[in-house]
Structure 1
């Protein structure tokens, strides 16, 4: 049985992150279109590039803080999440690298403050809701190491710490 997991973000933003994992998704094209056109307020992330939900929580927290401060790099807070996951300062590259195109496994993310549209959107996803604890089954470590420029690191032990550090310092350091 699947689950929808919630994380509290920066208290000043009064926002929660809701995350759910789907596999065998049949209507990826519709989902992607609804997100790109702004019909749905959410983002769909490639689980193959995520080692832990904390990685998404950090990117989402940075996005809502940037939105509140009025200094987002992208046009939407959901685009900002994808941008924050990437080491690239190129917006298009970040969105295409972490956003879903044809994948049939999706990690859906919603930001919830006053209103919560997640249940309505989740009900329209034609796929199998999985436990977030299954995320590691869809992670492609070779791809993760390539995207985060970690090919020289042999162990996967501290990978999450290194990835999060690189995500939050991308504005100061070139990798």
Structure 2
């Protein structure tokens, strides 16, 4: 499973999540249909608004906590991850902003739980069947837009004088239930 060589483990307390950056996707529409049908156990995330692993770590952690407490806002842990990435409480908007779209050529694949390796293999193999390739997670900056991230999370210039963009984004995600 060569794709797992480039996948990174993100620690979320007592377990890890697997995250893979996939590029040169040509079959996003078909993969999205499989995902919606429930055939794939993963989150497929548009890279545009993803800054770094801290953002993902918090969203995954919040999703797993909600799942454990049986307090999820969405139907499963993978859609809950997308929801938790969003700065507001609108599920449909979260899916549009963070979910893979039919024309996307790059995405992040996230899997959690006991079957995370086999689920990752299934999803990445499906993407690779359309010519996609896995890249090191550090290459995320090739696919994100700092301007778009600042706009989405409503980050003010003053905030960036006292902290990093990553800190501001993570703060928005952490406080979503309070300020949204």
Name the residue aligned to 2:56: 56
| Residues 130-168 of structure 1: per-residue CA shift (max 9 Å, x gap) | 110111121101111111011545859601011001101
In 2 relative to 1, CA 85–25 (structure 1 residues): closer, same or farther, beyond 3 Å? Answer: same
Q: Does structure 1 residue 144 correspond to structure 2 residue 146?
A: no
Secondary structure in structure 1 of the residue aligned to 2:155: coil
Q: Which residue of 2 aligns with 1:7?
A: 10
1:66 matched to which residue of 2?
66
* Residues 116-143 of structure 1: CA deviation (Å, up to 9, x unaligned): 4211221121301111011112110111
**CA distance in 1 between partners of 2:172 and 2:93 (Å):** 17
Q: Which residue of 2 aligns with 1:124?
A: 126
Query: Which runs of at least 4 in structure 1 moved beyond 3 Å after TM superposition?
Result: 151-157
- What are the equivalent positions in structure 2 for 1:18-167 lying under 5 Å apart? 18-101=18-101, 102-113=103-114, 116-126=118-128, 127-153=132-158, 155=160, 158-167=164-173
TM-score (norm 1): 0.90
Structure 2: unaligned runs, 5 residues or longer: none
Query: Number of matched residues?
Result: 171
Structure (1/2) with the larger helix percentage = 2
Given that residues 159 and 168 in structure 2 are in contact (C-alpha distance below 8 angstroms), is that contact kept between their aligned partners in structure 1?
no
Per-residue deviation, residues 8-64 of structure 1 (Å, max 9, x unmatched): 2222xxx42100011110110111111111100001111110110121111011101
Q: 1:114 to 1:42 in 2, by over 3 A?
A: closer
Q: How far apart are the structure 1 equivalents of 2:166 and 2:159?
A: 14
